[in-house]
Amino acid sequence: MPYQIIVCGGLAPDPLQTLEPVTTPAGPGLKNELMLPAVFDPWAGHALYEAANLAKNVPGSVIKVVSIAPKAKLQQVMMTVAQKLPFELVPLDGPGGGFTDSASIAAALADAIAAIPGLDKSQMLLFGGWESATRGAGVVMQMVGEKLGITEQFLAVDELKVDESGALIIKERVEGGRHQVSKCAAPPAVLAWATGNLPEPSNHPQTGMANMRAMMPALQKAKAAALTTTVSYASVALPSVTRQTKIVKDVPAAQIAQELADWIRQ
Amino acid sequence: MPATSTLSSAEFLKTLPGDDVRQILWRFQDRFDLQMLVQSVRGVARGPVARLVAQGGRLTHDWTPEKNQLLEEFDNAGITAAFMEPHEGGYIEGPKNLALSLIAFELAWVDGGAATASLATHLGLAPIHEKGTPEQQAYYMGIAAPQPGRPPKRAAFALTEPIPYVGVETGILCGKVRIAEWPEGGEPILEVSKRGRFITNMGFANFVTAAVESDDPRLKGTMMVILHEDDPGVFDRGTPTRKLVHQLSSTADPVFQLKVPASRIIGGYRVADGQVIPTYDHGNVIEAVFRRTRVGVGLMTSAKLLSAIEPLIRYHRDRFRGSGAVAPGSPRYELGLQQKEDVTHRLLDVWATGEAGSSLGFATARIFDTIDPVEKAKDKYFAEQGIGGGTTVIKALRKRLPDALEFIELNGKGEMARQSARYAELAADPVVQFMIVDAEASVLCPATKLWNTGNGSRVMREAVSLMGGYGITEDCPGFLGYKWMDTQLEATYEGPEAVQRRQLSVTMTSEVFLAQFRQWTQEMRKVAAQAPGTGACTLASAMNLWAWTLDYLQHGKDASGQRLYQGTRQGVTFPMADALCWLLSSRCQILDVENLRQNAAMLQDGAEGTIQFLTDLCHIQSARAAGEVARICTELVYGYMLHPSWTRPEDCNNCFREEELQQIESIIPGSSGFVVDVRNDDGSHSTKAGPCVHASGLNDFTRLRNKLDGCLAGAMLAKDRAGESLQKVMIPAALDYPL
């Protein structure tokens, strides 16, 4: 059975950039945020690559990416992402930082997905990142699923297989470094991906150009996401970096490993 | 740095210019195919290419499996197919000069050799692309395009030969071709004998486009032929060239002794009176090829200069961090070496040169994208008129010179003139339009190759020195040492500097070019009126000085009565070519920033600071260009005169006698201090070489020179302002490719 795979994914600042929290009139933000190069959120990226793999193996499947982000920035990022696999973009113009309200984002995503013409929920797999690189709240996908009435939800997914009967075999991360394998008889389902197992597909401009024929009009017509927020931030700061240096000589590797293990346990 | 800032925080550069800024500057903001190509190539450059360099891939001359793997990366990323038309397996419609230039730029940002490997494949195909028969084009472009399940066939371009013909003598060939067999009524079989020197891609090329000369009366002139690796005979790839640089490209000295059918002559042939006459001689082919591919080579050096900015800022800022003696928050900790004005000013020179070179190179690439369809329309028109090749074309073009000049004049007269019927008529005339863009391209192409690589090489050395001892190690962030050494080869590839100067010395004197140049001067004044801080006015004054000097040199004679501006007098012509390059690069830089200013609304944030900074870079560069032009012009104008002598009475006509000075002093005390030349009747004179020069006819030059000197006002203030931006600009936490 072909799937309609909806991938939710936003943007994140390029991780190599210097990220400096600042207070803006609209709340917390990053210094020069709109000027920083952005990337497709890596968690959502894994979901997208898994979606591409599934679509390739199940002929007739289609992928639609629903994204809330500043549309000019999204257009720049699509110049790379759109080269990796064929998909359709459903863009919503909105903030790209990590300080938006998760519930509000989830509502906007759910509304946008529900409005996709021809969407058949019986074929729908809702993909996204388990967390996001900007926020890490890990709650958006569940809320989107709930709002769309999809109760089969799988979090921190590392693998998806389809068995002979068409059932989904899903491997999720659970506590203690273990995996839990579940069987889901059929769509619809929410799969919030951890890292998956697939490498990033290489770029090819030819694929991108085919995608962009539909993406550019969609980006130009992108509506502003209706976001509300009830969240207020007392303070924001970068995680502190702790560096402890010890100079040693002639210490066996096993002893160094033991010290590291002890340090990690602390 | 000035003691206090004169700018608001909005006017400082906030982050390094990103893709959104570059796309507007270099005019591909509406070309999504090119934007994607850039991202795709960047992924290869800063991924596999950078990793190979970091792993020591450059440390061997041999073509290794790891280097060979890069070719596959190029194929997968669409780099190889970027040269082809969609029906040949490519994906970019229309002319591709800008696309190929962007590829070279992105790859050279990390490694020039990788860029050369990419360009060389296109170079090998270029003779077929430009001058091949339709059948040759369909076949070879098709097999060179990557297809699923079939590795592409790769090309090499073999022109350069061993000594004595290595180097600039591309007009003379020792590679020979004879007719080995000519069956009755059949196709002649050629025997090609060619030794190549410094041939790129030879480690893996499947076919070669080689320049050879006839050694058989039944075969006329020179030509280019296509040689296959499986042709009968010897296809010896030769030993790898022991070059010091560009080690990610394969270079070898091959030997070919092969039999090939005459259908492999590029562009085809005809038979007349028992003689095989190629459609194109090798000169026709390489001229069409090099004038395009040289642009990419020029841009490679400019990419390196711009790639050096981020690692240098990081090195300067972090220089003292980590030392217990320097407390966080102190100026020494926060700014490091950026506290020193010399560091920021020299880095600005590197940056401004990179910007100017890039602007010139991409402008040239765009001109070639323009010229391709115009040239085809002109060829079609001439064919319809029955005008063939060679001198008939030259005569036909010369006849249209007044029309071309008229169009340029109308174009400069403003909107009203451009609405006239005559303007519309000339604008639709393929011959006139070809003459105009061809004149511009014939100057911009050698200027890009010459200035970007030659001057870029000198400035790249400055970038290395700004990294201290670190700069000349293998560990230097951004591989700056490698990049510096590579620039020397870029200055040599595809025609060394002397060849470019020679070409410029001819093309820059064409009437069509000079008419455009005069308009460009006016254009700079207009830009200056709207955006006074760009240095455009300075540049216009320098352009005037250059034009005056050229005219003077073309009509003037030296002290011994010899003409100054003539082909063999390279002491005159070559420096004038150099001076022009400074002007052209600065002009292109100013126009790009002006375009950004007009499209500032497309930038999401920080436009004011970005534009202010780039404007200041324009001002810095235009001042430097003006200084170079003034120096060169003054040397040439005065340098070929005899210095006045105390021993020639006619040289002393303006000298005073001591007695006269005493009389003057008695009337106006102190006025004798303004008199520099004194010669008494007893032969004694002022202590210097001779009376000062009072050359008649040079008043205009002196006036232009004085004006230019005054035009430099504000240039150093712009540098101070830009230096402040360098201290404040936010850079990424780490370089986006490995060390």
Provide the residue-wise pLDDT of chain A in tens; the chain has 266 residues. 899 999 999 999 888 888 888 888 878 888 888 888 999 999 999 999 999 999 999 999 999 999 999 999 999 999 999 999 999 999 999 988 788 889 999 999 999 999 999 999 999 999 999 998 887 888 999 999 999 999 999 999 999 999 999 999 999 999 888 999 999 999 999 999 998 889 999 898 989 999 999 999 999 999 999 888 778 888 888 777 666 667 777 888 899 899 889 988 87
Of A18, A205, A208, the CB nearest to B732: A18
CA dist B569 and B40 (Å) reads 47
> What residue in B sits closest to A14 (Cα-Cα)?
B732
Using alpha carbons, list the distances in angstroms from residue B596 to B28, B538, B600: 12, 20, 6
Residue A80 Cα, gap to closest chain B Cα (Å) = 6
Task: Name residues whose C-beta falls within 8 Å of residue B502's C-beta, 6 or more positions apart in sequence.
Answer: B570, B573, B574
φ/ψ bin of B203: left (φ > 0), alpha (ψ from -120 to 50), beta (otherwise): alpha
The answer to whether A84 and B39 have CB atoms below 8 angstroms apart is no
- Interface contact A34-B606, CB threshold 8 A: yes
Closest among A210, A91, A104 to B33, alpha carbons compared: A210
Q: Determine which of B33, B36, B83, B735 to mutate to test the interface with A (most A C-beta atoms within 10 Å).
A: B36
User: For residue B75, what is the nearest residue in chain A, using CA coordinates?
Assistant: A204
Q: What is the number of other CB atoms lying within 10 angstroms of the CB of residue B133?
A: 16
Partners of A19 on chain B (C-beta within 8 Å) are 733
At residue A28, the pLDDT reads 86
Closest among B150, B96, B88 to B118, alpha carbons compared: B96
How far off is chain B from A62, nearest CA to CA, in Å? 22
CB distance A205–B82 less than 8 Å?
yes
Residues in chain B: 739
Q: Do residue B606 and residue A206 have CB atoms under 8 angstroms apart?
A: no
Cα nearest neighbour of B29 on chain A: A76
Is the Cβ pair A205, B33 closer than 8 Å?
yes
For residue B605, which residues of chain A lie inside 8 Å, CB to CB? 32-35
Residues in A lying within 8 Å of B, measured between beta carbons: 14, 16-20, 31-37, 70, 72-73, 76, 79-80, 82-83, 202-206, 208-209, 212, 216
Contacts of B625 (CB under 8 A, 6+ apart): B356, B539, B542, B582, B583, B585, B586
What is the pLDDT, as a whole number, of residue B483? 97
Q: Is the CB of residue A238 less than 8 Å from the CB of residue A21? A: yes
Contact A200, B39 (CB under 8 A): no
Q: A154 Cβ partners below 8 Å, 6+ apart?
A: A170, A172, A182, A184, A189, A190, A191, A192
Structure tokens, B175: 């590679």
Nearest CA to A37 out of B528, B618, B49, B39 is that of B39
pLDDT (0 to 100) of residue B369: 95
- Tokens 């459609």 belong to residue: B279
Cα distances from B639 to residues B91, B213, B238, B557, B672, in angstroms, run 55, 43, 49, 11, 29
Q: What is the spatial distance between Cα B105 and Cα B205, in angstroms, rounded to a whole number?
A: 23
Q: Measure CA of the first residue to CA of the last residue in chain A; give whole Å.
A: 50
Can you tell me whether residue B152 is helix, strand or coil?
coil
ipTM value for the complex: 0.84
Q: Which pLDDT score is estimated for A176?
A: 84
User: Cα separation of B542 and B367, whole Å?
Assistant: 24
Closest-CA residue of B relative to A204 is B77
Measured from the Cβ of residue B325, the count of other Cβ atoms closer than 10 Å reads 7
- Note whether B185 and B271 are within 8 A (CB): no
Partner residue facing B734 (CB), from A16, A34, A70: A16
C-alpha to C-alpha distance for A228 and B589, rounded to whole angstroms:
45
User: Which is it for strands A223-224 and A168-174: parallel, antiparallel or unpaired?
Assistant: unpaired
What are the DSSP E strand ranges found in A20-85? 21-24, 27-30, 38-40, 62-69
For an interface test with B, the pick among A16, A32, A203 (most B C-beta atoms closer than 10 Å) comes out as A203
Strands ordered across the beta sheet of A124-129: A178-184, A168-174, A153-162, A189-193, A124-129, A4-8, A62-69, A88-93, A223-224
Amino acid residing at B620:
I
**Closest to B261 measured CA to CA, from B273, B275, B276, B248:** B276
d(CA B178, CA B572): 43
If one counts every other C-beta atom within 10 angstroms of the C-beta of residue B450, the result is: 27
Q: What residues are paired with A125 via a beta bridge?
A: A5, A189
Question: What pLDDT is attached to residue B250?
Answer: 96
Q: Give CB contacts under 8 A, 24+ apart, made by B682-689.
A: B683/B646, B685/B646, B685/B655, B689/B643
d(CA B391, CA B488): 37
Which one-letter DSSP state was computed for residue B455? I
Ranges under pLDDT 50 in chain B = 3, 166-168
CA nearest B158: which of B103, B114, B118, B120? B120
| Residue of A17, A31, A73 with shortest CB distance to B732 | A17
Task: Give me A71's structure tokens.
Answer: 């549309």
Half-sphere exposure of B679 (CA within 13 A, CB side): 19
Kindly determine whether residue A216 and residue B15, on different chains, have CB atoms separated by under 8 Å.
no
Query: According to the model, what pLDDT value does residue B168 have?
Result: 46
The candidate with the shortest Cα–Cα distance to B53, out of B476, B630, B662, is B476
Helix (H) or strand (E) holding B460: helix B456-465
Say if residue B446 is preceded by a cis peptide, omega within 30 of 0: no
Mutation pick from A84, A206, A215 vs chain B, by most beta carbons of B within 10 Å, is A206
In 3-state terms, chain B is what percent helix, strand and coil (to 5)? 60, 10, 30
Tokens in use for B579? 């001076």
How many residue pairs bridge chain A and chain B with CB atoms within 8 Å of each other?
91
Enumerate the residues of chain A whose CB falls inside 8 A of the CB of residue B14: 32, 35
Q: With contact defined as beta carbons under 8 Å apart, do B9 and B587 qualify?
A: no
**Lookup result for tokens 């569940």:** A142
Helix, strand, coil % over all residues of chain A, rounded to 5: 30, 25, 40
Query: Are A212 and B32 inside 8 Å of each other by CB?
Result: yes
Residue with tokens 């020494």: B332
What torsion do the CA atoms of B418, B420, B424, B425 make, to the nearest 10 degrees? -140
